[in-house]
Chain A
Amino acid sequence: MPDVNRGNRPLSPHLQIYRPQLTSMTSILTRITGNALLLGSLLIVWWLLAAASSPAYFEFVDNILTCWIGKLIMLGSIWAIWYHLLAGLRHLYWDTGRGLEIEVAEKLGWAVIIGSVLATIITIVIV
């Protein structure tokens, strides 16, 4: 497209311009938690494979999952999965066209943050 003006067009304000807000931060966290959950998920699949293989191999993988670094990943994954679940619930609600006003969206953001921490504590206590 030779006659199209490229590179000299006005750009809409982006991340460098906007002040961080609750709505943008909770949105970015949704993406980070969702994708970071790959690590914990692969560990669980590895643990299942080890259980299906042999007792010796199971012990090897089980030790990795229950050492402090494994426990840290599991703890992080528990918070990430609750955060991502609640944030996803918020998206399903938004998809119906409701809750898009700034005050409501911010309240829902706080609900997601507080709810994910509470759910994590409940999970640690029960599981």
Chain B
Amino acid sequence: MAFMTDRKRATGMGSAKEGTHHHWNMTISSIALLILVPVFVFSIGPMIGEPHDAVVAYFARPFPAIVSALTIVIGFLHFKNGVQVLIEDYVHGTARKLLIVLMICVSYGAMATGLFAIAKLAL
């Protein structure tokens, strides 16, 4: 114990120097969603509950397909980064790492599924 110095205790315990990047990513995606979400809600929202052929015809148009694709990709990127902070605050140890990995899988999985569906409907 006599060999411990204040310097030695502090070395390696600092920031990983990437926290600002996470915050900047959240800022950028939030500004994108500020525009995309209202457009998505008011254009795609009314289609829920519509018959199948109407929905298929709707997503064959460029505007709904592009807006939905952008909203789903950026929305799930924003969720991936946001839920990571939630997990880091309340879950510890190995469970924390596993849960973050699981949520990254869910986010990219949902993104890919949504893009596949939109591409199939649009083309």
Contacts and interface: CB of A to CB of B under 8 A. Distances in A.
Interface of A: 1-4, 31, 34-35, 37-38, 41-42, 44-45, 47-49, 51-52, 55, 58-59, 62, 65-66, 74, 78, 81, 85, 88-89, 91-92, 95, 123, 126-127
B49 to A, nearest CB: 5
Nearest to B48: A65
State the main secondary structure of chain A at its contact with B. Answer: helix
A59 B52 contact: yes
B45 A127 contact: yes
B114 A48 contact: yes
A52 B116 contact: yes
Given A42-B110, A51-B55, A95-B27, A123 B41 contact: yes
Nearest to A54: B52
B100 interface: no
B118 to A, nearest CB: 6
Contacts of A62: 48-49, 52
B86 A35 contact: yes
A72 to B, nearest CB: 14
B88 to A, nearest CB: 12
A95 to B, nearest CB: 7
B34 A88 contact: yes
Given A2-B4, A89-B34, A55 B52 contact: yes
Contacts of A52: 116-118, 120-121
B98 interface: no
Interface string B14-46: 000000000000010011011001100110011
A27 to B, nearest CB: 12
